[in-house]
Amino acid sequence: MLLLLGRRVPLSFVHRLTTCRPPPRPVLLRSALLKLSAITGATHTTVFVSATGQHTGTMPERRPFVRLPADVYPVNYGLCLKPDLIDFTFEGKLEALVEVTQATNQIVMNCADIDIITASFVLPGGDEINATGFNYQNEDEKVTLSFPSALQKGSGTLKVDFVGELNDKMKGFYRSKYTAPTGEVRYAAVTQFEATDARRAFPCWDEPAIKATFDIALIVPKDRVALSNMNVIDRKPCPEDANLVEVKFATTPIMSTYLVAFVIGEYDFVESQSSDGITVRVYTPVGKAEQGKFALEVATKTLPFYKDYFSVPYPLPKIDLIAIADFAAGAMENWGLVTYRETALLIDPKNSCSSSRQWVALVVGHELAHQWFGNLVTMEWWTHLWLNEGFASWIEYLCVDHCFPEYDIWTQFVSADYTRALDLDALDSSHPIEVSPHPPRSRTCGNVWNRPAGNPSPR
């Protein structure tokens, strides 16, 4: 149960509130601002002055951040990706079922570091309209697809063929270097989409409130493991190349783009089932499966705890936890496929201390809490990231205390996190927990909340 407007409501009700059609955009009071500017004579130009008092130049007006228009929104993404682990590129095909809310001859989507080859719109009757132009707004990370005639109100299918790069920046769809047991250096293809990097893997409506379902397929080398948010429903040889296979995954629940994930690489795994029948796997580097057993124990204990605590079952048939060699964040709560740094997931049973186990337990508890609070129920905009992360950072302690009472974890919470939160909040540089990140860049969104300070807030 959650408190909403002073009343207790079930989590499922809040979920329905966050999975509706995207809300209308707030109206910008541009005319009022222009009138105020005319009255006061104010300008939007910043003048730089040197230490000697001389003018050194001006900074041009920064355009206001504008969210995506609401005239077209997605219902389902049909996505097929073919990564090349040698040339570090990928090919993609998108077939998105969309709803047009008002007639328009343009579709605006998020897109970054992707080249669109072709695009078209298929009407319900089967007629196909080819796009006549792609206008990239690189600074805004958007693309506008133009069509020769207006797309009328109703449903249709947007088809886009595109190519991109498996970058080395640890964001979007990127390559992760690892060393095989033979000593050979190899690469995996992995994802990190929060906050705004799904657009680097495929053109999309990359805002948290614009949810849709996903049907994902990956064309990968036949000797590689391919994972995504959902379970595999089909794996068959690729007709064009005997060394490749096409792996199809089940349809996801309705979800935000930043939670989509896929991983292609070489991994071992350990497997178990939670008491409520959810298949849990921990994927490790080849030869290190033993080091995934503790995280597996934590996950199988954690899922039933959250199910009972939220009174909502985990909605997916499986959950995978995977250790990534090159990973910028500590961990990422992708729905059904949680990615971790190796140090946040793996425990060597022969050489690990108690504090390392407690850390892994807390991180696993944190990310699995997000499977409900963040994934099932999602913030409308990044302004409210503090609640998403602050709540998970508190409830991870509640979970670990329940699953491993011998850790006396609440004592550590008070002596470490809580005390540090008070110290940080006393600094002159302390900021409100609610900050508007416009535009919402990955680094910006990661800094709008402070984990220790977020912990006490929901409590």
The residues annotated as belonging to the active site are 367
**Which position has the token pair 């990359």?**
206
Spatial separation of the C-alpha atoms in residues 90 and 201, rounded to whole Å: 9
Burial degree of 161 (CB within 10 A; 0-12, 13-18, 19+)? middle
Q: Is 431 annotated to bind ligand? A: no
Per DSSP, the three-state class of 451 is: helix
Instruction: Kindly write down the DSSP assignment for every residue of 353-412, as one continuous string.
Output: -HHHHHHHHHHHHHHHHTTTBTTTB--SSGGGHHHHHHHHHHHHHHHHHHH-GGG-HHHH
Q: Is 55 annotated to bind ligand? A: no
Spatial separation of the C-alpha atoms in residues 328 and 330, rounded to whole Å: 7
Which helix or strand (DSSP H or E) is residue 297 part of?
A: helix 293-310
Spatial separation of the C-alpha atoms in residues 44 and 61, rounded to whole Å: 6
- Pairing mode, strands 142-151 and 318-324: unpaired
Q: Is 366 annotated to bind ligand? A: yes
Radius of gyration of the chain from Cα atoms?
A: 24
- Is 358 in contact with 400 (CB distance < 8 Å)? yes
**Which position has the token pair 């204990």?**
301
Q: Tell me the binding residues for Zn(2+).
A: 366, 370, 389
Q: Tell me the binding residues.
A: 366, 370, 389
